[in-house]
Chains A and B, each alone.
Chain A
Amino acid sequence: MAVDESPPRPRVRVVLADAAARRVAADHGSADLAEQTPVGEALVKGLVRAQLALALRLALVVAAGLGTLPLLFAVAPAVGEVKVFGMHLPWVLLGLLSFPFLVLVGAAYVRWAERNEQDFAALIRRPEK
């Protein structure tokens, strides 16, 4: 919580209203956001750009991992003949491995997207840093 600005004082019992009042005082960032100041606009643009870059990067991973397979099978038919555990490679890749691959990419996205949002929230709450 943002308590840096308050002068040193003896230990006090924290009351809800008290904490809320102090938070409002420290929240320049929220005010910037709500009032659509240039600073607020720039902050939101930064967040949108970060999230979009993350989504596009992971979409590219899927496009490279799955999207190139039809082309690969067409250009190098020999790949289709390779056997893994008694099954032909295209069956293993598409029927089996593609699903955990998609879930892994999704899990990575959720993790990083939440981190982007936490960074953004931290920036808004403590704009001076």
Chain B
Amino acid sequence: MNPYLAPGLILVVLLTVAIGAYGLRFARTTSDFLVASRSVSPSWNAAAISGEYLSAASFLGVAGLVLRYGVDVLWYPVGFAAGYLALLLFVAAPLRRSGAFTLPDFCEVRLRSTALRRLATAFVLFIGCLYMLPQLQGAGLTFATLTGGSYAWGALVVAVVVTANVAFGGMRAITFVQAFQYWLKLTALAVPMIFLILQWQSDGRPQVTPPAGAVFHAATTVVVEQDAVLDGTRRVEAGETLRFEAGDPVPQVSTVDAEFGADWLLPDGETSLFATYSLILATFLGTMGLPHVLVRFYTNPDGASARRTTLVVLAMVGLFYLLPTMYGVLGRIYTPQLLMTGSSDAVVLLLPEAALGDGHLGRLLGALVTAGALAAFLSTSSGLLTSVAGVIFTDVLRPGRNGSIRDFRVATLLAASVPTLLALYVSDMDVSRVVGLAFAVAASSFCPLLVLGIWWRRLTDVGAIAGLVAGGGAAMAAVLVTVLGPPLTGWVAEVVNQPAAWTVPLAFLVMVGVSLLSGRRVPPDVGATMLRLHAPESLRG
């Protein structure tokens, strides 16, 4: 095992707790806990939002997908970044001016409906759990892969560190922790990439897709995990050990879904247009509906700074997403065995040692990327936990009353327990797929609610509820069938596994249609609300 690994991981956990404790010194009131008393500067805030957003799916998953499927999956990083542009264009400033801290708050401010507020709370909890589950799973799998330890311990350690940090430090501490983790994640991918590119140059720039097919860069041993057929001819059994010399061709394993040669290099018919556009809709429009993203906007002092913060986030996130693609591409040369085992999510973790050798440099850089991965699990689950706990705190535990810091801690424990238990019992779900589904649910529920709520006066509470139930409910059902149901085939599989292309328009249509039919229920104070959402703060009395 890599001797730098344990010290690196312990350092990240200690730093996280230490920065959390430093923030704790300032956290005195409930307001500090929930919104950092709105005293966070835009650059800190932008780094914190980016740090919170770049999850395991971004840090490990994107590179793994590129390694496997090539150019077709580049829409994932593009969509993850473009989501912030949609947020900037349609939501950022008005949402901040509404004064809403959570999505249920926004429902209350805009439509004055308790029923809608409860429904929105249910959606926040569902999306929060769905998004937190893969983070804990990813943590468990990373620990298991790298240390040979158990999956459950990895998931538990991350869950406990995150819960303690949120419960004792709250939002104020979390802002500093998240900002630190953005820079850690960027460094952890950027620094090794410099050395990897130098190594690739000195190896004589080997081709990513050689015309004669992929070859092993160095001698490699692969342990077969399940019975399969190699290159359509040779049968291998589970447990069998295969040895390859440098220069041997990489065989295609029948049980692992991956693309080779021109299929990988060029956009092709493998991924249908429906699935591609569905993915684009889900990621472009889903970001604004993620509970942990919106909470952050309340920490901006006014609408104009909310807009500037979002722009900085867009730049920071875009800068980060240049890197995972490069890992996926270089993984094609240096870690082709992952295409045989199917554990392509590990490419970021294994690439430095595979390319640079297991000397000190390779091992140090390997420990650095692993520390970055740990930061990814910690930051996203902290942010999700803060926002889900915030919703439980304000809407479930003591609706309508002001709670104490103790109540917030109880809410944090409650919010952490469900996904942690789920993560311990469900370990075989695909990380990036679950994250994609969370985006689809958010895009079909909160995106129409926010966009219509902010820009359309004639939205009514009944219309909003109907749209949430129809679009969000359909997306939720598709998620449950995909995750728990039997494997589907043909066009049904496509429509259910990538639901956004039909659930998002459905949600918008139902919301607009029912609102027009229930026109008398438009809130009488809609004019005042619109003024509050859109007029600059300087005009307020």
Interface residues of A (CB under 8 A from B): 30, 33-34, 36, 40-41, 44-45, 47-48, 51-52, 55, 58-59, 62, 66-67, 70-71, 73-74, 77, 80-81, 88, 90-91, 94-96, 98-100, 102-103, 105-107, 109-110, 113-114, 117, 120-121, 124
Contact = CB atoms under 8 A, between A and B. Distances in A.
B319 A110 contact: no
Given A47-B534, A114-B304, 9 more contacts: A40-B531, A66-B280, A70-B273, A77-B267, A77-B268, A90-B74, A91-B71, A95-B77, A113-B93
Contacts of B276: 70
Contacts, number: 121
24 contacts: A30-B541, A33-B531, A33-B535, A40-B531, A47-B535, A48-B534, A59-B89, A66-B82, A66-B280, A70-B277, A74-B267, A81-B266, A88-B266, A91-B71, A96-B322, A102-B314, A105-B85, A106-B84, A106-B310, A109-B89, A110-B311, A114-B307, A117-B536, A121-B539
A121 B536 contact: yes
A71 B276 CA distance: 10
Interface majority SS on B: helix, strand, loop or mixed?
helix
Nearest to A102: B85
B195 interface: no
Most buried by A among B269, B273, B321, B535: B535
B273 to A, nearest CB: 6
A102 B79 CA distance: 10
Contacts of B455: 48, 52
A81 B538 CA distance: 53
B71 A117 contact: no
A24 B280 CA distance: 50
B541 A62 contact: no
Interface of B: 71, 74-75, 77-78, 81-82, 84-86, 88-90, 93, 265-269, 273, 276-277, 280, 304, 307-308, 310-311, 314-315, 318-319, 321-322, 325, 455, 527-528, 530-531, 534-536, 538-539, 541
Contacts of A81: 266
A81 B71 CA distance: 12
A33 B322 CA distance: 46
A48 B527 CA distance: 11
A119 to B, nearest CB: 11
Contacts of B75: 70, 94
Contacts of A103: 311, 314-315, 318
Most buried by A among B75, B266, B455: B266
A44 B319 contact: no
B315 A88 contact: no
Contacts of B311: 103, 106-107, 110
A57 to B, nearest CB: 10
B265 A88 contact: yes
Nearest to A34: B541
Nearest to B531: A44
Nearest to B307: A110
Nearest to A30: B539
A59 B86 contact: yes
Contacts of A33: 531, 535, 539
Contact of A95 (B267, B325, B539): B325
B243 to A, nearest CB: 33
A102 B89 CA distance: 11
Contact of A110 (B77, B88, B536): B88
Contacts of A107: 311
A92 to B, nearest CB: 10
A55 B89 contact: yes
Nearest to B90: A55
A120 B321 CA distance: 37
Contacts of B319: 99
Given A62-B82, A91-B71, A117 B304 contact: yes
Nearest to B91: A55
A102 B82 contact: yes
B86 to A, nearest CB: 7
Given A44-B527, A59-B89, A88-B266, A102 B318 contact: yes
A77 B85 contact: no
Nearest to B308: A110
Contacts of B535: 33, 44, 47, 117, 120
Contact of A124 (B74, B308, B318, B539): B539
A45 B319 CA distance: 37
A19 B541 CA distance: 15
B331 to A, nearest CB: 14
Nearest to B78: A98
